[in-house]
Amino acid sequence: MEKITVLSLFPQMITDALSYGIVKRAKGIISINSHNLRDWGEGTYQKVDDLSVAPGPGMLLKANVVANALKDLIDDEAHVIHMSPRGTPLTSQKALELSQKKHLVIVASRYEGLDQRVIDNYIDEEISIGDYVLSGGELASLVLIDSVLRMTGDILRPDAVEDESFQKGLLEYPHYTKPLEFENKMIPEYLKSGNHKLINETRFIEQLYITWLRRPDLLRDYPLCKVETTHKNPLTKIKKQNDLLKKRLLAFEKVIQEKRDG
Ligand code: SAH
């Protein structure tokens, strides 16, 4: 990833939101430019929108205005995205795939969206950030940019990304910091052990458990061989030692069994 270009009616929303934290740091490595669609607007009032030709409510961004802007912004390396609730859902895998493109051009629309002919002629793919409708594509673009930047080498330490939720098909394990006791709650025993192997194995069970509880859909796609070959024996050992984990593990084994049977 070398460059991100955003086209929207509120470019300031993009620049402002990208001035914090990790993403701000990323701007030193990747060039991010936010453009105002109105600069390509028509006439004295720089008109960018018009009524939909079909009966019913709704304004659309004008096809030729968006096309003229894109002609100026696209280069040979550009991968052009339109943020849309009709798009492919954004996932960790999708963010990783996009982080490997050289230049992302992101169109954030407003009103009812874009004229279909601009989508057909200029957009490589449409991406949705979830099954709900926002009033504009700026926030959606920001979500996309943030998730893509996290996947871009040189921005986060690789080991910081490795265990994160979705990265290996599971949600992340719980985190704790000092003090060891907070409001009568101690950190879990396994973290006090200092035994890295035990910590890794227990974290893995925690991941399986939370995923099973909240996102069983992810578990359906999780390769069971990973559980069986690398972790079967250690898990059995841990199960004997710890009642809570035993309960969690039994729940998980049930899911595995059901999957095998079904
Ligand atoms: N009429 C459209 C929604 C328009 S919402 C429809 O029903 O599909 C206005 C703009 O906000 C969209 O064009 C898109 O750019 C952005 N937007 C809204 N919800 C979004 C989502 N879930 N993901 C990505 N972009 C979204």
Residue 129 lies in a domain: yes
Query: Are 151 and 227 part of one and the same domain?
Result: no
* d(CA 138, ligand 1 centre) in Å: 10
Query: Are 91 and 219 part of one and the same domain?
Result: no
Q: Classify residue 33 by burial, with Cβ atoms within 10 Å: 0-12, 13-18, 19+.
A: middle
Query: Are 111 and 223 part of one and the same domain?
Result: no
Backbone angles phi, psi at 44, to 5 degrees: -60, -35
Ligand 1 atom at shortest distance from the alpha carbon of 129: 23
Residue 176 lies in a domain: no
Ligand 1 atom at shortest distance from the alpha carbon of 112: 1
Query: Are 140 and 67 part of one and the same domain?
Result: yes
* d(CA 112, ligand 1 centre) in Å: 7
Please give the full DSSP string across 103-141, using - where no structure is assigned.
Answer: EEEEE---TT-B-HHHHHHH-SEEEESSSS--S-HHHHH
Type of residue at 71: K
Which of 158, 192, 209 is the last residue in one of the domains?
Answer: 158
Using CA atoms, how far apart are residues 110 and 8, in angstroms rounded to an integer? 8
Q: What is the pLDDT of residue 238?
A: 52
Nearest protein Cα to ligand 1, atom 23: 128
Domain that holds residue 120: 3-158
Q: What is the pLDDT of residue 98?
A: 97
Q: Is the CB of 134 under 6 A from ligand 1?
A: yes
Of 11, 5, 122, 141, the closest CA to residue 67 belongs to 122
Residue 174 lies in a domain: no
Burial 76-96 (b: 16+ CB within 10 A, else e): eebbbbbbbbebeebebebbb
Query: Are 126 and 226 part of one and the same domain?
Result: no
**How many C-beta atoms lie closer than 10 Å to residue 155's C-beta?**
20
Query: Are 199 and 140 part of one and the same domain?
Result: no
Q: Is the CB of 136 under 6 A from ligand 1?
A: yes
What does the pLDDT look like over 75-94, one tens digit per residue? Answer: 999 999 999 999 999 999 99
**Pairing between strand 59-61 and 49-51?**
antiparallel
Task: Enumerate the H helices of 107-242 as residue ranges.
Answer: 116-122, 137-151, 158-162, 189-192, 196-214, 216-220, 224-225, 231-241
Q: Is the CB of 137 under 6 A from ligand 1?
A: yes
CATH of residue 79's domain is: 3.40.1280.10
Type of residue at 259: K
What does the pLDDT look like over 119-154, one tens digit per residue? Answer: 999 999 999 999 999 999 999 999 999 999 999 877
* d(CA 103, ligand 1 centre) in Å: 23
Residue 172 lies in a domain: no
Query: Are 148 and 71 part of one and the same domain?
Result: yes
Domain count for the chain: 2
Q: Is the CB of 143 under 6 A from ligand 1?
A: no
Query: Are 141 and 188 part of one and the same domain?
Result: no
Ligand 1 atom at shortest distance from the alpha carbon of 130: 22
The band of 234, judged by pLDDT with boundaries at 50, 70 and 90, is: very low
What does the pLDDT look like over 28-86, one tens digit per residue? Answer: 889 999 999 999 999 999 999 999 998 878 899 999 999 999 999 999 999 999 999 99
Query: Are 26 and 60 part of one and the same domain?
Result: yes
Query: Are 17 and 85 part of one and the same domain?
Result: yes
Residue 17 lies in a domain: yes
Matching residue, tokens 């001035």: 19
Q: Which two tokens stand for residue 32?
A: 């991010």
Q: Is the CB of 41 under 6 A from ligand 1?
A: no
Using CA atoms, how far apart are residues 96 and 22, in angstroms rounded to an integer? 17
Q: Is the CB of 6 under 6 A from ligand 1?
A: no
Which of 115, 143, 158 is the last residue in one of the domains?
Answer: 158
Of 37, 38, 64, 61, the closest CA to residue 51 belongs to 61
Residue 100 lies in a domain: yes
CA angle 88, 121, 149 (to 5 degrees): 45
Q: Is the CB of 10 under 6 A from ligand 1?
A: no
Residue 109 lies in a domain: yes
Nearest protein Cα to ligand 1, atom 3: 112
Q: Is the CB of 132 under 6 A from ligand 1?
A: yes
DSSP annotation of 42 reads B
Residue 139 lies in a domain: yes
- The best mutation among 90, 119, 133 to test binding of ligand 1, ranked by most ligand atoms within 8 Å of the C-beta, falls on 133
Query: Are 245 and 132 part of one and the same domain?
Result: no
Q: Is the CB of 11 under 6 A from ligand 1?
A: no
Q: Which two tokens stand for residue 163?
A: 């265990």
Indicate if the alpha-carbon torsion angle 209, 217, 148, 60 is positive or negative. negative
Q: What is the pLDDT of residue 10?
A: 98
Strands (E), 2-77: 3-8, 31-36, 49-51, 59-61
Q: Is the CB of 138 under 6 A from ligand 1?
A: no
Query: Are 204 and 125 part of one and the same domain?
Result: no
Using CA atoms, how far apart are residues 192 and 190, in angstroms rounded to an integer? 5
**Rounded to two decimals, what is the model's pTM?**
0.85
Using CA atoms, how far apart are residues 98 and 170, in angstroms rounded to an integer? 21
